[in-house]
């Protein structure tokens, strides 16, 4: 796919599951986070992360077109405030994803099963004039995978415990992947802020 067809946005894209995220990764350079289906209802730390990112960057919600997708969409919109969200909709198309033996309960394709062109149009329609604007790059030095290692959060003895302690103190979900973690930290903190915070949190 040509680079020009990629949607650029500073907003954080919220989808239901990992197959949706994989599907969308080549269509947009947005940060993508998952609701884990209805898992968002009970995951207080992920809710806190969504609220923080909604305030700072704004969200794009792209859930499935079935009843469950609309329940999740409404829940998140109410949770973070409608003013912080743009809604992207894929049409209700009957069918099933190739990886599934049976279609979903309502017989509709989820986000992962819809053609690229339809998804791109849904994102363009939701973003309006914002579509195509280059994401704002945080000022100053970026937090990197190397920093996670240097802070003892990755690839070292005791890393899992240190990472869990830091995420808990920051109110971030414990199950963020390394990529999600670095993206979230760069959205919420400068390198200098986090360097100082991790010293206070982890070395006390």
Complete DSSP assignment for 100-114: -SS--TT-B--GGGS
Question: Whole-prediction pTM value?
Answer: 0.74
User: How many CB atoms lie under 10 A from the CB of residue 85?
Assistant: 22
Most confident of 16-30, 39-53, 112-126, 187-201: 39-53
Strands across the sheet with 85-87, in order? 31-34, 12-15, 59-61, 85-87
- The secondary element (H helix, E strand) that includes residue 15 is strand 12-15
Over the stretch 74-105, which tens digit does the pLDDT of each residue have? 999 999 999 999 998 886 776 655 666 555 66
pLDDT for 97: 53
Q: Are 93 and 109 in contact (CB under 8 A)?
A: yes
Q: Which residues contact 160 (CB under 8 A, 6 or more apart)?
A: none
- The secondary element (H helix, E strand) that includes residue 85 is strand 85-87
Residue extents of the structural domains in the chain? 3-130, 145-202
| Two tokens, residue 11 | 């907003």
CATH code that applies to domain 3-130: 3.40.1360.10
Mean confidence (pLDDT) of the chain = 83
Distances (CA, A) of 203 to 12, 47, 61, 113: 32, 27, 38, 47
Distances (CA, A) of 182 to 2, 81, 108, 179: 26, 25, 34, 5
Q: Are 147 and 202 in contact (CB under 8 A)?
A: no
Q: Are 47 and 34 in contact (CB under 8 A)?
A: no
Over the stretch 7-52, which tens digit does the pLDDT of each residue have? 888 899 999 988 888 888 889 888 899 998 899 999 999 999 999 9
């Amino acid at each position: 796919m040509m680079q020009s067809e990629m949607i650029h946005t500073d907003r954080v894209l919220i989808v239901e599951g990992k197959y949706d995220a994989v599907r969308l990764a080549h269509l947009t350079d947005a940060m993508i986070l998952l609701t884990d289906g209805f898992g968002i209802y009970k995951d207080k730390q992920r809710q806190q992360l969504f609220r923080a990112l909604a305030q700072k960057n704004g969200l794009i919600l792209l859930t499935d077109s079935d009843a469950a997708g609309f329940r999740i969409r409404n829940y998140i919109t109410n949770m973070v405030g409608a003013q912080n969200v743009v809604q992207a909709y894929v049409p209700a198309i009957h069918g099933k994803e190739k990886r599934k033996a049976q279609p979903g309960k309502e017989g509709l394709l989820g986000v992962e099963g819809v053609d690229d062109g339809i998804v791109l149009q849904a994102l363009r329609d939701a973003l309006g004039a914002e579509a195509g604007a280059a994401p704002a790059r945080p000022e100053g030095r970026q937090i990197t995978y190397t920093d996670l290692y240097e802070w003892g959060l990755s690839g070292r003895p005791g890393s899992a415990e240190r990472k869990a302690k830091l995420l808990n103190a920051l109110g971030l979900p414990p199950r963020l992947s390394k990529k999600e973690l670095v993206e979230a930290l760069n959205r919420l903190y400068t390198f200098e802020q986090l360097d100082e915070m991790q010293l206070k949190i982890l070395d006390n």
